[in-house]
Amino acid sequence: MKRNRDLYKYMIGGTLIIFIGFMSLIDFFTPKKIFSEMENRRLEEKPEFSMKKLFGGNYTSSYEKYVSDQFPFRNFFIGVKSDCERIAGKVENNEVYLGKDGYLFEKFKTPQREEFEKKIDAINSFAVSNPNVDKYFMLVPNSVKILEDKLPKFAPVDDELALIERVQKSLDKNISFVDVYDTLLSKNHEYIYYKTDHHWTTKGAFYAYEKFCEDVGITPHNEGYFDINEATCEFYGSLYSKSGFRRLSPDSIQLYIPKTKKELEVEYFDEEKIEDTLYDFSGLNKKDKYTIFLGGNHPLIKISSNVNEKKLLIVKDSYANSLIPFLTDHFGQIYVVDLRYFDEDLSSLIEKENIGDVLILFNVKTFFEDDSIRKISW
């Protein structure tokens, strides 16, 4: 018996040594990656050694992150871990829930009162500083609220609708609130949010476009005005990357292309280039295929369609990117500003370009978690 136990220990120890040696050999010959397409983030690089970092504890923690990010067959093992957790019944990972029908939902938490008030004060100050323009604010609920019937049971999520109503009541009387909550809720049986990404789909953006036109007093185009084309059916979005959940069906991205082609001029000031399309099809070759809309986020974009003399400024997050194409038939010039990257004075831009309408468009989660909206009144 003792002999068998010793043999067993030697076999286990030898297997472990062989495994460690094999993985070390693979790790040595495997090129180190800088960016993970699967997770859509930069990977940790090997830290530089120094005695100061070693004794300070920074080196070991950094090296641990490096080994974790550069581990051979990392994506395979992430998938195995995900499968095991799903079999065990786990439905939450990294603040992302796995819901019904393969939907992923990002957890939402109510912001601190002080942060809420600072953002509202900034928007109201902007409204007071620009009395001669028509101002609209669209605060878009996320899928975690509109599709809450697909959430796992007892998932702790704060109420987005309560925050939307609070924002509406707190806004300056000269800002028209475009309430798309009921519109989207009435369509929640349709494909209006991606399953693996935090954005709404183009169809969801289309319904919000109709509501905006109704509030502004212009006639929207119906779906028959467009050729609806599938750009890709292999889109795995931000929540897929963040959650680690695998073995999910990919999303599809649709483009609503007017059947009657109009000339467009799209100027990207940060890249000093002019295009004749709103779509960057090279984005379909990237992990984040949502960048097909306007090539992603930029500080300032000017879109000229010359359909009329009306000028619109859109202050936005990435939710607006798939809605903007619908508006090019109604405004001759559209200025698109992302305050995360734009550091100039908005009031000066409005005065210089003689802009008559302003739409502030954010999704609830980004609005409350990102401080860039406070730059609107700088």
pLDDT digits (tens, 9 = 90+) for 207-231: 999 999 999 999 999 999 999 999 9
**Residue 259 class from Cβ within 10 Å (0-12 exposed, 13-18 middle, 19+ buried)?**
exposed
User: Where are the chain's structural domains?
Assistant: 2-81, 104-377
Does residue 61 have a pLDDT over 90?
no
Task: Report residue 290 as tokens.
Answer: 């949502």
pLDDT exceeds 50 at position 254: yes
Rounded Cα distance between 264 and 49, Å, is: 53
Residues 146-198 have pLDDT tens digits of 999 999 988 888 999 999 999 999 999 999 999 999 999 999 999 999 999 99
Report the chain's mean pLDDT, rounded to a whole number: 87
Mean pLDDT value of segment 316-325: 98
Question: In this prediction, what percent of the chain has a pLDDT beyond 90?
Answer: 70
Tell me what the mean pLDDT of segment 89-95 comes to: 81
- Break the chain down into helix, strand, coil percent, rounded to 5: 45, 20, 35
Question: pTM for the full model?
Answer: 0.82
d(CA 366, CA 138): 13
What does the pLDDT read at residue 105?
A: 97
